[in-house]
Amino acid sequence: MPARISVRWRFLVALCVAGVSACAAERIAALDAPPTFLSPEIASASVAKTGWATRTYAVAAANPLATEAGQQMLRAGGSAVDAAIAVQMVLALVEPQSSGLGGGAFLIHFDGKQVQAFDGRETAPAGVTATELMGSNGQPMARMQAIVGGRTVGVPGTLRMLELAHRQHGRLPWAALFAPAIRLAQQGFAISPRMASLVADDKHLHKDPVAAAYFYDADGKPWPAGHVLRNPELADVLQAIAKQGADAFMQGEVAQAIANKVQGHATNPGKMTLKDLADYRAVVRAPLCFDYAVAAHTYRICGMPPPSSGTLAIGQILNLLGNTPTANVPLQAGLPPADWLHLYTEASRLAFADRDHYVADPDFVQPPAGSWQSLLQPGYLAQRAKLINTAPGSPRMADPAPGKPGPSDARPLQYGRAATQVEAGTSHISVIDAQGHGVAMTTTIEDAFGARQMVNRGKGLTGGFLLNNELTDFNFAPTDAAGLPVANRIEPGKRPRSSMAPTLVFDKATGQLLISAGSPGGAVIIHYTAKTLYGMLNWGLNAQEAINLPNFGTLGGPAFLEAGRFAPTTAQALRTRGHKVYEVDLPSGIQAIARTPQGFFGGADPRREGVVLGD
């Protein structure tokens, strides 16, 4: 049995026998596949990276071919948005397991004066019901039962969002941004080792005839790494979008093919219609920003507001830690020590309690105390931090309830407490252009290969694009055990809660953009991004060094450490304090670019295939 699988099965057995509290047991019970829920994409080979220094601009993405496409746009005088669009189109081809035309994305943009949050999150079709994700037995569906097919496909938003961002901030013609992806789709690209390993590992992709004809040979074997793969169907669709804009995708023959695919699945059809696709609108939101003080320096950190929970949770974690003795806990032998991990885990548990209770699509739920900023108020976080046992060797706190921000006499929101559940895979793009304008964009089709449904218009061309399964980011059960509605329940037209956390960091005093960062990874995106920010801002690491740090996190219950990266004494020290600790694969895909006196320095996650390029 491969080591990776062995680790996962040990994790499953450990979860089954661990003596967890009733609350933690209920939350873990919502996961039908505990060994994989922290790793929506399997781990693959790790490649050592030392980072990249550039002078005038930089682009970081999850695949070298995609990064090269972004660099071409920047060399041609394009904006950060131009580069991000070119990168995304190539990722749709060369990294189809993670993102693409059939998914959604969040993009944070800085134009030198203001920060904007572009929301291209998928939406639930108008025909969904409150029990869409419940089985005939009245219980939440098993995760893979819900995913494979059309049931959980959300209305794609990536193209509408990118079109909106380009209309405001593009410098190159829209059509020019598609040229690299069209050329690669027509001429072919060598399948990367990571893509090959994910195709070989997947148990459902081959069930779709279109995907089977594209990802596998005539004998049904997955194409190996290095095989030159062409996607003429995607090239044709991209050419139409390049000429006609997003309308070529959201209306007409492509939209009809999407609706047919969703509705026509033999055993698990969905309810998406042509009207759902035509009615989709991307949204520009005010960014969610918070101050973060390190010694005498104050940073301004900006990211996505709800429906993303990412920035909220990161802001809470970092500032909760600021109310504990973490400033006195340095790295030990280059690694976060057990005392620091204890404090981090406790801060995260408090943040996830609030996240699971309050955060959902702001068009459908009200924020506590009338503002999402109430969850980031210094006084509220200082009070919450008092729940953390900070003395050396002190025990883990009891499972925390969600907090009550705002005035003490404010009426609490009547939402049920949602069970923690799976969120899945994504990709991240960071760009800073020659004008100092920046993009942080996290893009997704949710699970690896999404719903395992590949759309093809039926014109005799091989290939196509994959559809998301984003509706599984809603809580499957619409109410809790007490019958209270869950904030993140499924509703028509609603955007599912996300953990994606594209992040821009500024010097508060000068307003200068310092960092663009983010990561894929489902709910643990929050921890991957927080780790990277903490490493750079608190421990003084460069972007690559911070990314290289071992991963860790929690979803509110057990603590998770990246397998093989910590000494046994670290896990044991946490267990002694009452934490349940599991060592598992945590294959992040972090990208980060930081300003330096000489220009920029970028890092890409050694756990995936990304690179940073620039001049």
Residue type for 114, please? Q
Question: Coil, strand, or helix at residue 88?
Answer: helix
Q: Residue 416 phi/psi, 5° resolution?
A: -75, 165
Residue with tokens 């669009």: 85
Q: Is residue 62 within 8 Å of residue 91, measured between CB atoms?
A: yes
Distance of CA 489 to the CA centre of its chain: 19
The rounded distance, in Å, linking the Cα atoms of 368 and 226 is 52
- Range 207-237 burial, b when 16+ CB lie within 10 A, else e: ebebbebbbbeeeeebbeeeeebbbbbbbbb
Q: Which helix (H) or strand (E) holds 288?
A: strand 288-294
How would you classify residue 324: left for phi > 0, otherwise alpha for psi between -120 and 50, otherwise beta? beta
The single-letter code of the amino acid at 460 is G
What is the rounded distance in angstroms from the CA atom of residue 248 to the CA atom of residue 192? Answer: 29
- Annotation says 426 is catalytic: yes
DSSP character at residue 552: E
Task: Give pairs for 3-12: CB < 8 Å, separation 24+.
Answer: 4/42, 4/43, 4/585, 7/35, 7/563, 7/583, 7/584, 7/585, 8/35, 8/36, 8/584, 8/585, 9/35, 11/35, 11/582, 11/584
Give 529's strand partners. none
Distance CA 504, CA 196 (A): 32
Kindly tell me the sign of the dihedral angle through the C-alpha atoms of 213, 219, 220, 221.
negative
Contact (Cβ atoms closer than 8 angstroms) between residue 405 and residue 377: yes
Torsion-angle region of residue 438: left (phi > 0), alpha (psi -120 to 50) or beta?
beta
Spatial separation of the C-alpha atoms in residues 388 and 395, rounded to whole Å: 9
Q: Pick the catalytic residue from 67, 326, 426, 529.
A: 426
Number of residues in the chain: 615
Tell me the C-alpha distance between 125 and 278, whole Å: 11
Spatial CA neighbour of 305 closest among 357, 378, 372: 372
CA-wise closest residue to 608 among 60, 233, 132: 60
Q: For residues 551 and 528, is the Cβ–Cβ distance under 8 A?
A: yes
3 state SS of 13 = helix
Mark 30-51 as b/e (b = at least 16 C-beta within 10 Å). Answer: bbbebbbbbbbbbbbeeeebeb
Q: Map residue 178 onto helix, strand or coil.
A: helix
Single-letter amino acid, residue 367: P
Dist CA 575 CA 145 (whole Å): 35
Active site residues: 426
